[in-house]
Amino acid sequence: MAEYKELTVNPPDGVTAGPVSESNFFEWEALISGPDGTPYEGGIFSAVLTFPRDYPLSPPVMKFTCLMFHPNIYPDGTVCISILHAPGDDPNMYEHASERWSPVQSVEKILLSVVSMLAEPNDESGAHVDASKMWREDRAQFDEIVRQTVRKTLGL
């Protein structure tokens, strides 16, 4: 509840978020504006954050509900970034524990991390293999697919 109040009083640029309903604070809707200077620019992307019952000890799951093409977003829309990974050591030894979820994180930090992720994908740990490969090998085609996705999300 405190995080929701903070987001409504002092919202960060390019993001809005809040509970789907006043009776369920475990599911939030979010809207993220595509970062300027990226192929996502001009897009408005909808997502859902689903919080576990033991939040803030465990991270929420964030899933885009619109079409997305990005190396760190699974084809089903689920976001894959360090801040949303369970706390502790990474069993694959890719991430440091300090990069993963901790109870001091917030919804605002998650949303800002996702905006940053849109601008600067991590293609080394791709959730969407085709998008990761295209980001590395054919940036022009990647950008064109993203621009088409932006137009679709806007209904154009």
Residue 92 confidence (pLDDT) above 60: no
* Confidence (pLDDT) at 84: 87
3-state secondary structure 19-86: EEECCEEEEEEEEEECCCCCCCCCCEEEEEEECCCCCCCCCCEEEECCCCCCCCECCCCEECCHHHCC
Number of domain units in the chain:
1
Instruction: Identify the residue with better confidence: 101 or 110.
Output: 110
Domain limits for position 76: 2-153
Q: Which CATH number does the domain housing residue 51 bear?
A: 3.10.110.10
Q: What is the pLDDT of residues 29-51, one digit of tens each?
A: 999 999 999 999 999 999 999 99
Which are the catalytic amino acids? 80
